Amino acid sequence: MKIAVFGQLYKTESLPYIIDLVHLLVKKKIDFIIYKELNNAIRDSIKTPIATYQSDKDLPKDVTLMISVGGDGTMLQTVRFIKDSAIPVIGINTGRLGFLATVQKEHIELAVSQLIEGHFTVNKRSLLQVTTQEHTKTFYALNEVSVSRKNTTTMITIDTFLDGEFLNTYWADGLIIATPTGSTGYSLSCNGPIITPSVEALSITPIAPHNLSIRPLIIRDDTQIKLRVSSRENHFLLAMDSHVESVSTKSELFIKKAPFELPMIALKDQSFLKTLREKLLWGKDTRN
């Protein structure tokens, strides 16, 4: 087993747990490699020399799994390192809600023990692939792709096509295309539906639509989606999870299911339904 450790430094409160994790991996003599920026931050606390990586290009081919330390946002960032390498990932939650990072920070030692002993399952999560006429680069998103207004308080209009057929023109602050994984994120806050991870579907959820008869829509995940955005401004915002691009209103967007999936690790006694109950406080009414 070779583990890659990833985390982000915008929350210093995560550092003690990263240090604890590294000490534990060293103690158990587990072969691991750590994100270079993290290593620089904990260098004074760890006396043992540690191998580092800085991008997906220098991530060793023999890495068998990745541990993400932070919150759901940190988990989303692992996509740019893993891409189509099929490296399973597990998240240690030092943030708040934690739908993706499901291991609580107090249970790091237990989680590492279960990983070593093989007491886990791997569930594959679908991603979205985004291309535009303006960018030569292909973007990927685990949670959602969203378009929204830029530098204006007025609505934008979004012409939406499914497999080449016109669906609707949304007059709204924006539009969210979410995977089942992302259905419990931004889409949920805009009254989108919750989709269990095994369902092969996507949701289209408008953000503050002008026409109140416009409701969220569930579609097959092999649907080809095309968007044309109009605005009083010449650009709008395109967000793929936490990555944001400014896009010209002259550019069409093309969204479809990515040709690869992200393997996510679930430890023993963990499940999506259990996470729903715990995070959304279902059944916590004192009358139950």
Class of domain 2-118: alpha beta
Q: Which residues are catalytic?
A: 72
Residues in CB range of 26: below 8 A, 6 or more apart: 46, 48
Main-chain dihedrals φ then ψ at residue 186, nearest 5 degrees: -55, -45
CA nearest neighbour of 67 among 97, 107, 10: 107
Q: What is the pLDDT along the chain (288 residues), one digit of tens a residue?
A: 899 999 887 667 778 888 899 999 999 999 999 999 888 888 888 878 889 999 888 888 899 999 999 888 888 888 888 888 889 999 998 877 678 888 888 889 999 999 999 899 999 999 999 999 877 889 999 999 999 999 888 899 999 999 999 999 999 999 999 999 999 999 999 999 999 999 999 999 999 999 889 999 999 999 999 999 999 999 999 999 989 999 999 999 999 999 999 999 988 888 888 888 888 888 777 666
Cα 122 to Cα 49, 67, 147, 261, 267, distances in angstroms:
31, 14, 31, 12, 9
What stretch(es) of the chain map to CATH 3.40.50.10330? Answer: 2-118
The structure tokens listed for 259 are 């040709």
**pLDDT value at residue 11:** 66
| Rounded Cα distance, 25 and 257, in Å | 36
Total-model pTM: 0.87
Q: Please report how the helices 15-27 and 108-117 are oriented relative to each other, as an axis angle in degrees rounded to 10.
A: 40
Cα(226)–Cα(224) distance, integer angstroms: 7
Q: Report the C-alpha gap between 264 and 221 in whole angstroms.
A: 19
Please list the residue range(s) of the chain that carry CATH number 2.60.200.30. 127-259
222 Cβ contact list (under 8 Å, min separation 6) = 200, 256, 257
The correct answer on CATH 2.60.200.30 for the domain covering 127-259 is yes
